[in-house]
Structure 1
Amino acid sequence: MEDERSVIELMQSCQVSEETVARVARLWGKSAARNAGRTHVLLGHLLDTAAVAGLMWDRFLSPAVRRRLDEISGGQGRAWFMWVCAIHDCGKACPAFQALDVAEAAPVRAAGLTWGRLPTGRRMKWRHDVAGGAMLIARLREEWGDADAVAWVWPLVAGHHGVFPSVSALRPPYPDAQGRGPAWAEAQRAVVDVVTRVVGFADVAAVRPVSSLRKAEQLALAGLIVMADWIASDSEHFKGLADAGDVSPAGACRRAEAAWERLGFRGGWEKLAVPSSTLVPLTGRLGVAPRASQRELVERAWSSLSPGLLVVEAPMGEGKTKAALAAAEVLAARFGLNGVFVAMPTQATSDPMYEQVLEWVGSFHPELVSQVALLHGKRRFNRLWRRIWDEGHSAGVGASPWEDYGAIDEDDEFGWPGSSGDTGGVAERGGPPVWFLGSKRGLLTPFAVGTIDHLLYAATRTRHVMLRAAGLVGKVVIVDEVHAADIYMRQFLLEALRWLGQAGVPVVLLSATLPPAQRQAFVDAYLSGVLAAADVQEPVPEPAGYPCITAAFAVGGQPVVESSRSLVPSWRESVPTRIEWLPDTEVDGAVVAAVVREAVAEGGVVLVVVNQVDRAQAIYRALRGSEVGGHVHLLHGRLCTAHRAERTEECLRLMGPRAGDSRPEGMVVIATQLAEQSFDVDADLLITDLAPVDLLLQRIGRLHRHAGTRRPAAHAVPRVLVTGVAAGVRGRPRFLPASVKIYEEWPLLRAAALVSEAAGPLPGSGGAGVPGAGVWSIPADVPGLVARAYGGAEVCPAEWDEQAAGAAWRVGEEKRRAQAEQFLLTRPREWGTATLEGLHYAGSTAVGEEDLDAVVRDGDRGAEVVLVHRVAGGYTALDGTRLGVYGEVLDDAVVERLLGGSVRLPVGLSGETGGLRALPGWVDHPWLRHARALVFEGGWAELGGSRVSYDDAEGLVVKRG
């Protein structure tokens, strides 16, 4: 695209009649009213998009993606990619679009492209994306003579506004929608011809692909087309050109180059060298003394014959995530991948992983640090992310992390990101590219760490799902704590694995407590994608021991599944861990508090994990004034965002792997399930409410976790006190009501039975028999306990009536599975289809990020509110920062402090928030206009018959009426 000739001259050289040249030159692509006051002709936008696509090919796409596009185009991958991106808006060359703006339509009609009266109303709407698909399908059938090739290419154009229609939707709703008569037909033909010539093809017939992309690859390609379109639609960087005589291929390349530099884009690793040995990624970049399980994983990455799935099962604290990053380097180098996405179970676990990945990515090249995204809704409160942001962006250029960049009205025919001019300003050297902050774009960043939700979103039948697919293809995907996904979330994870398998994306799944049935399901789902089969069932060999690694891939169209064939020793010897009962089902936690006081009398660090915020607060209150004093820390989900982040950081400082001399002589941490996973702390004693066995073992993973920690003699042996349960009728366990609500009864009964095997019968149950052995050997016993907890054999005494509880649990699980299925990207019977045609068979089921949260996570999560105080003359933030009379905020620093007071309400109160609104002064602020303010007057607020207050130590306190 180095031709300096204008598109008018190029059309003339294509033997297009003068009348058609004049008519095509008048077709508009962006109206002045929606494009910062400047009309942009259609061919100008198409050439801009082609130029952006060329830069994406050269500087952004992974070698693996480029290789596949070369394969299907007969070695012309770059030109083919530019063509399919440029042709996306060919459907704007029709009356239905050209008539949308009266001012822009006048010169089009004057040039001889006319239409009659067009109907109005949503049912008769003829969108330009669908019009493009209709236009292209007819042309390609004529010139390619290959029905299969046409069938997978036309949806790429018809779906570029986020939804893939069925072929039946390509029929215009009224005669003039597509344009009648030779003038329109010649103009539409000329638009396609000139774009085809500009990118380097002699004619449309020469564009015909020699083979097909797989459906998952098509979805990713569709996302890359949208990316190119959105970048080229930015009116700040691509000023409108109203005269087609000013449009040229070379000019489009210059515009794209300037925009690329200003936006701060770059790719990931690009050409990553294969490490010289299996140890280099571990010792060189990550600085670890490799453990046997870590070496095993990297060696598996070396030996896999094709991109595949690696399922890693290893004890808590084994170093799985570091090993996964090392394996990712090997996989990326071998298979031509350009980045990594690390998916974590929660926001809280994402933050420390973000720090680790930043350090790791920086070891390849310091500039790559700017290409690491943190993907979760509270990232603005991550101090490291903010520091990198602030260092990389100058003030006053519109580059604020608080803004909602590139917002788009997806139902607006004119709409495109940047049409309002709000696209994020300038990316300074070293700063994260602002463009990627936009909704749905985060995964397109070369390196990303975020919640697993972002992976699950890519498995939902939602608008613009292709952008998420584009962000995953070309990366290695690592999913940590994969066991944390419940059956509802697991349906989306399985769907994502099918698509990733078909797209050739290597995936590494990590878990310490994975039930064998889940391991099998993950392998089958991934291989179903690889083999493009609806239901692959390839038995996983029984691992030789624990830790273990399962590898699944395909060779020559045949599945291969391998498990560790020899024993891989854990980094530490299994330790006998004493398991004891502490019967207590009272929310006040007085029994637990008394035991804690006794436990810390001679020093030591005690971790208390309970299943209920009210119970955690009650235990904290009971200890707050005791001799433990200021060394009692409370961590739960009803802390405001700022306090939760501060306390998590403080706990990691005092109890983490680098605590050293900072570790206190005596300390108590009372936490809810936040401490269950990816919380790298070391406790001397664990007191925990009963939970399903896999989660109970995760909590035990915080006990005696780090080597070399100095402990008081009283805590030399790891010890677990299991509470939240007491003896009931006929010895059947009685659980905390909150525990049953969260986990249901059957998993708790089986957990109680397995604990009883070690701890003996529950005191007061009257249970007969020999007391338990008193210990679990950790980690050696972990896989066996998890397998038994979720296996088919009964483990409970007959009088516990396990069968009835199990039947009720299975009914509930099946119901949740079915509920998730309605939102999955593909219906099971359609998995084998070869194209994207009709993918959105029921339209878009969710359009906003908040809606997506509800789609991929089952149950009520509780409404989030921003806590403010009403004071004389206005309002203050929770921390006392003064706001305006109507709640106005003056700068980003005030916004940060204000939103630091965000908190999620208990589920029981979330239904009472209908009357909560943003403060009047927030209505024009991009981050605050959708927020709900909970206003305290005199320190209290009334909500749903309850009195709500906030205590800086306890968090949100609810006193029910």
Structure 2
Amino acid sequence: MLGVLWGKSEEKGGGRKNLLLSHLLDTAAVAERMWDGFLAPSTKQMLDEVAGGAGKGRLFFAWLCGVHDCGKATPAFQRLWPKGAAEVRAAGLSWNEAAVARSRWRHDCAGGFVVRRLLPAAGWDERHVGWVWPLVAGHHGRFPEEGQLTPSRRAMGQLEGGARWAQVQRALVERFSRELGFGGLAAVAPVVVPSRAFQLHMSGLIVMADWIASDEQHFGGVDDVRRVTLGGARLRAERAWGALGLCGGWGVLAEPGPGAFRVRFGEVPRSSQVMVVEAAGRMECPGLLVVEAPMGEGKTKAALLAAEVLAARFGADGVFVGMPTQATCDPMFESVRGWVGGVDGGLASRVALLHGKRMFNREWRGLVDGARRDAEAQFGGVDEYGDCCEDDPYGAGAAVGGVGGEVAARGPAQWFLGAKRGLLCPFVVGTIDQLLFAATRTKHVMLRMAGLVGKVVVLDEVHAADVYMSQFLGEGLRWLGQAGVPVVLLSATLPPGQRRALVGAYVAGAASREEYEVPGLPEPAGYPSVTAAWMGPGGEPGFLVEDCGSWRADLRVRVELLPEAVAGPGATRERQVAVQEAADRGVGDFLEHALAEGGRALVIRNTVGRAQSLYEELRGRVDGRVVLLHGRIAVGPRADRTVEVLRLLSALRPDDGSLGEGGRLVVVATQVAEQSFDVDADVLVTDLAPIDLLLQRIGRLHRHDGVARPARLREPRVVVTGFDAASPGGEGSGAVPRFLGASEGIYGRYLLLRAAALVGAAGGGGRGWSVPGEVPSLVAAGYEGAGGGVPAAWADDMESAREVYVRELGERADAAVKFLLSRRGDRESATLAGLHRAALPPSDDAGVLQAVVRDGDPSVEVILVVGAEGGYRTLSGRALTVNGDVAEGLLDDVLAGTVRLPPSCTKAVAQELLPLPGWRGDARLRYSPALVLDTDGRAELGDRSVRYDADLGLVLEAAGAARR
């Protein structure tokens, strides 16, 4: 009977059906290749423990991967291909077609049902049956509950088949097990139940093996059971593995020696960097390392070498570095490639950049150029056999370029570049969203978690996660803690409560507890500091908390106030414009004086509209150069402008004449310049923001020593504006300040009040701030100062704002709960059964996923094109056809016109905009709405007019602009 059961039809088997036993062995053979050339040492060690001892894990892993499709040995599946069904019937395996046709029973659930029945009969302990069947039932992306395995009663037993079918199912699994080398199904039984997080990791690896073994170019049909052998499957797997260019990372890594920092980075380590690396070397078990240090202290380099130490000690095979934004990923990508190349020169090409705009990164483009097709367009729909092609990259309608044997000369294997697979690359730099996605109850979440387990995870700027995002961050840390993944968190301005919550989440996961109050966690006594936490072998947490002095003496930053009038909520449009123009003139007056002898200023505004308005004021007044940078500039020009700003505001101070005779530069930016933005300004003007963000902005001021500065700018000065400190009662009366409506909408009134109080105290008497020495105390006061430290006249307003703040924090945290990977009360479950109960709808759309893990109204991206006679033009002026068809070589130019609109435009975009007709056949354009501008750069969208200006970016002319 095994000679007729089909696993892949002729259409999906390269013109010849592939027997089910052949596909199981193919998948097992791929798993062997993964063991030999991809799995992390820590993963192998755990599999050995699960299987019963050293050397046993490889065989057990191959069995786990191969058995996944045993549910295809049922009438419910075998009937789906008419030709194959006829052969099965002719061999004597029958079913009632009318009864089977009434109900659907997916083969993944059927597989769970089959092993749930076979394994106990073979003598398996129920504990092991309980964790293994979800791996089979969940291999198409979702884990059902046990009750969902049972076929519908309406089919009267016909879906699973009768006694004859049960015999064939047992024979299939027994034959498969014996082909691998087991004495029988009973001999496969594991001895240790792994953690639920490790089970999720295994599930992702099973999916990976299945997808590779489903590639018809390397695993064509084998329709004669006499030719179905493990040896043949191994030859096919070896060819496929080599053709796809798949490989892992470090493998077994030697722990770096005392001089490693200088070797890796070409410089002597600072005391804080030594402290971090040594702390990593003193951790008793895999754990969490929280590094708090000033901007410019060198946290990143310390974290990378600490990651190398942790990888060597705990068997990690690579690293994931998560950054707060796409823009901050690009410079980190270059840094990580340099570091990985320092470990092993051949590894630098295996580093992947993982964000939606990576094709505009020149270094990334240089790595992947030469690929014939984009590997990100691999997923089709649901085929006629009930297989979900979004689960199978080689299914109907899949693009094969770059997968079936074509491997780029440089860069990661193209297989890793497909949807949901990027984190499987051995070394990855991406946005923190990639980790947050791994903490959501979404389809194929196991692939994302499989890409994190077995690595060291480094997350920069973790303070940037708001309370909503922090729920997913905490959930991710729980799973990583349970999986024993070393994690390094970096921050310059981490509130103490947030540090405690992050440590608590990781330790709770490591302890497999629903909640875990971290007992005895000391607070750092100084700054920079490192906090290490792990769960010891005896079930007790271990902590290490140290601090040291900064490499650089404190800067005494002079804090000045530049209040501005604030138009009330009922102000007319004319009043709003007048107030804004007056505010812009005030900043212009200040900069004219401050830059009289030359110099480079950075101005950070809280909204795009304010940045654009100030830019228009300054470019007519500043005798030098004015540059505008914000998130509503099209991605192509914005990437170029960002590079230019980084160059002009670098510590090297390039003098190429572009600043004019006076040597003046003003960069007007939004929050894009707030963090992970390595610039050095002589003077800073900033809108009021919460204290940690103000300090982040101050981190761009006098960032480096030894920089030549004009005499009047040799003292670091930050000028804080964007609020009205002269409310009724007069300046200095202690009256409650008024804030810009947009700022209050972004940050909330409570945090702005606390920041205003701290700014007022520093600026009122000319005391200023000592940075970085005072950073921890300022951040603590800005977030956990309760009602103290503010003028008495503010007390009632402060308390009212605090109540709103606390209530909104609770509401936003609760809003995230329904999307978290594990539900409250379910975090101590021993298996993956039912994990996807009430799961989110499937989606490969990064925008949809981002809306899940980031709070607030969703924004939307559009591609700007210009309507022209006889067709369209790209934003840069290159011609498209009458339908917008994109000729070879123009795709990147079209995508360079992508711009993100504010949330206020989202509804209008959904109602009014579509892709151009010629884009519908292009995988990267078919879902991209086009905003067609006239030849003056204008368009109507909803109830407003918009225009695109080469200098200003996208301008909203009929309504206020939103953040970024």
TM-score bracket, normalised by the shorter chain, equals: over 0.9
Q: Which residue of 2 aligns with 1:829?
A: 825
User: 2:753 matched to 1:756?
Assistant: no
The residue identity in structure 2 corresponding to 1:601 is A
Q: Which residue of 1 aligns with 2:27?
A: 49
Q: Is the 8 A contact 2:864 2:897 kept in 1?
A: yes
State how far apart, in whole Å, the 2-side matches of 1:702 and 1:486 are: 22
State how far apart, in whole Å, the 2-side matches of 1:55 and 1:414 are: 25
Q: Which residue of 1 aligns with 2:512?
A: 532
Q: Which residue of 2 aligns with 1:493?
A: 473
Q: Is the 8 A contact 1:264 1:429 kept in 2?
A: no
Q: Which residue of 2 aligns with 1:59?
A: 37
State how far apart, in whole Å, the 2-side matches of 1:131 and 1:579 are: 68
TM-superposed deviation, 1:110 = 1.0
State how far apart, in whole Å, the 2-side matches of 1:533 and 1:645 are: 45
The residue identity in structure 1 corresponding to 2:618 is L
5 Å-filtered alignment, 1:354-393, equals: 354-390=333-369, 393=370
The residue identity in structure 2 corresponding to 1:656 is S
Which of 864, 868, 874 in structure 2 is aligned with 1:867? 864
Runs of 4+ in 1 over 6 A off after TM superposition: none
The residue identity in structure 1 corresponding to 2:348 is V
Q: Is the 8 A contact 2:100 2:159 kept in 1?
A: no
Q: Is the 8 A contact 2:100 2:158 kept in 1?
A: no
State how far apart, in whole Å, the 1-side matches of 2:769 and 2:785 are: 22
Report the CA distance shift for 1:570/1:407 in structure 2 as closer, same or farther (over 3 A).
farther
State how far apart, in whole Å, the 2-side matches of 1:601 and 1:918 are: 50
CA offsets 1:689-718 (integer angstroms, 9 cap, x no match): 000000110000000001221111111000
The residue identity in structure 2 corresponding to 1:33 is E
**SS of the counterpart of 1:239?**
coil
Which of 278, 282, 288 in structure 2 is aligned with 1:309? 288
Which of 917, 920, 924 in structure 2 is aligned with 1:920? 917
User: 2:3 matched to 1:25?
Assistant: yes
Q: Which residue of 1 aligns with 2:717?
A: 719
State how far apart, in whole Å, the 1-side matches of 2:324 and 2:908 are: 28
Report the CA distance shift for 1:92/1:118 in structure 2 as closer, same or farther (over 3 A).
farther
User: 2:169 matched to 1:165?
Assistant: no
5 Å-filtered alignment, 1:149-548, equals: 149-173=128-152, 174-277=155-258, 279-280=259-260, 282-390=261-369, 393=370, 398-400=372-374, 403-407=376-380, 409=382, 412-413=386-387, 415=389, 416-420=392-396, 421-425=398-402, 426-538=406-518, 539-548=520-529
**SS of the counterpart of 2:278?**
helix
Which of 837, 840, 848 in structure 2 is aligned with 1:841? 837
User: 2:684 matched to 1:694?
Assistant: no
TM-superposed deviation, 1:178 = 4.1
Report the CA distance shift for 1:859/1:37 in structure 2 as closer, same or farther (over 3 A).
farther
Q: Which residue of 1 aligns with 2:767?
A: 774
The residue identity in structure 2 corresponding to 1:832 is E
Q: Is the 8 A contact 2:863 2:930 kept in 1?
A: yes
State how far apart, in whole Å, the 2-side matches of 1:919 and 1:452 are: 32
Equivalent pairs, count: 916
**SS of the counterpart of 2:556?**
strand
TM-superposed deviation, 1:247 = 2.6
**SS of the counterpart of 2:580?**
coil
Report the CA distance shift for 1:703/1:792 in structure 2 as closer, same or farther (over 3 A).
closer
User: 2:584 matched to 1:610?
Assistant: no
Task: Output the TM-score relative to the length of structure 2.
Answer: 0.93
Which of 851, 855, 861 in structure 2 is aligned with 1:854? 851
Larger mean CA deviation between 703-712 and 291-300 belongs to 703-712
Report the CA distance shift for 1:182/1:851 in structure 2 as closer, same or farther (over 3 A).
same
Unaligned runs of 5+ in 1: 1-22, 761-771
State how far apart, in whole Å, the 1-side matches of 2:931 and 2:820 are: 35
Q: Which residue of 1 aligns with 2:90?
A: 110
5 Å-filtered alignment, 1:556-571, equals: 556-565=537-546, 567-571=547-551
Q: Which residue of 2 aligns with 1:810?
A: 806
CA offsets 1:492-540 (integer angstroms, 9 cap, x no match): 0000000000000000000000000000001110000111111111142
Report the CA distance shift for 1:143/1:872 in structure 2 as closer, same or farther (over 3 A).
same
**SS of the counterpart of 1:558?**
coil
TM-superposed deviation, 1:246 = 3.3
Q: Is the 8 A contact 1:370 1:433 kept in 2?
A: no
**Could you tell me the percent identity over the aligned residues?**
52
Q: Which residue of 2 aligns with 1:7?
A: none
TM-superposed deviation, 1:169 = 1.0
User: 2:793 matched to 1:799?
Assistant: yes
Q: Is the 8 A contact 1:461 1:845 kept in 2?
A: no
State how far apart, in whole Å, the 1-side matches of 2:74 and 2:161 are: 9
State how far apart, in whole Å, the 1-side matches of 2:414 and 2:653 are: 36
CA offsets 1:255-306 (integer angstroms, 9 cap, x no match): 11111111111110011111222x41x1111223201110000001111000
Q: Which residue of 2 aligns with 1:647?
A: 641
User: 2:733 matched to 1:733?
Assistant: no
TM-superposed deviation, 1:558 = 3.3
**SS of the counterpart of 1:26?**
coil
**SS of the counterpart of 2:957?**
strand
CA offsets 1:200-232 (integer angstroms, 9 cap, x no match): 211111111111110000000000000000111
Report the CA distance shift for 1:606/1:238 in structure 2 as closer, same or farther (over 3 A).
same
Unaligned runs of 5+ in 2: 567-578, 730-734, 960-964
Q: Is the 8 A contact 2:612 2:952 kept in 1?
A: yes
Q: Is the 8 A contact 2:493 2:779 kept in 1?
A: yes
TM-superposed deviation, 1:845 = 4.0
Q: Is the 8 A contact 1:358 1:369 kept in 2?
A: yes
State how far apart, in whole Å, the 1-side matches of 2:848 and 2:382 are: 16
State how far apart, in whole Å, the 2-side matches of 1:898 and 1:486 are: 34
Report the CA distance shift for 1:703/1:177 in structure 2 as closer, same or farther (over 3 A).
farther
Q: Which residue of 2 aligns with 1:143?
A: 122
State how far apart, in whole Å, the 1-side matches of 2:802 and 2:842 are: 34
State how far apart, in whole Å, the 2-side matches of 1:757 and 1:810 are: 25
TM-superposed deviation, 1:38 = 3.6
Report the CA distance shift for 1:781/1:792 in structure 2 as closer, same or farther (over 3 A).
closer
TM-superposed deviation, 1:594 = 2.4
Q: Which residue of 1 aligns with 2:47?
A: 69
State how far apart, in whole Å, the 2-side matches of 1:587 and 1:242 are: 76
The residue identity in structure 2 corresponding to 1:835 is T
State how far apart, in whole Å, the 2-side matches of 1:676 and 1:559 are: 39
User: 2:875 matched to 1:878?
Assistant: yes
State how far apart, in whole Å, the 2-side matches of 1:597 and 1:642 are: 32
TM-superposed deviation, 1:661 = 5.0
**SS of the counterpart of 2:11?**
helix
TM-superposed deviation, 1:417 = 1.4
Report the CA distance shift for 1:244/1:659 in structure 2 as closer, same or farther (over 3 A).
farther
State how far apart, in whole Å, the 2-side matches of 1:106 and 1:288 are: 72
Report the CA distance shift for 1:62/1:666 in structure 2 as closer, same or farther (over 3 A).
same
State how far apart, in whole Å, the 1-side matches of 2:89 and 2:820 are: 45
TM-superposed deviation, 1:635 = 0.5
State how far apart, in whole Å, the 2-side matches of 1:516 and 1:135 are: 51
Q: Is the 8 A contact 1:424 1:434 kept in 2?
A: no
5 Å-filtered alignment, 1:875-954, equals: 875-891=872-888, 893-913=889-909, 914-938=911-935, 939-954=937-952
User: Over aligned residues, Cα RMSD in angstroms?
Assistant: 1.7
TM-superposed deviation, 1:843 = 3.2
**SS of the counterpart of 1:326?**
helix
Which of 581, 588, 593 in structure 1 is aligned with 2:588? 593
Report the CA distance shift for 1:409/1:375 in structure 2 as closer, same or farther (over 3 A).
farther
CA offsets 1:646-673 (integer angstroms, 9 cap, x no match): 1111111121245555696321100000
State how far apart, in whole Å, the 1-side matches of 2:209 and 2:23 are: 11
Larger mean CA deviation between 39-48 and 61-70 belongs to 39-48
Q: Which residue of 2 aligns with 1:785?
A: 778
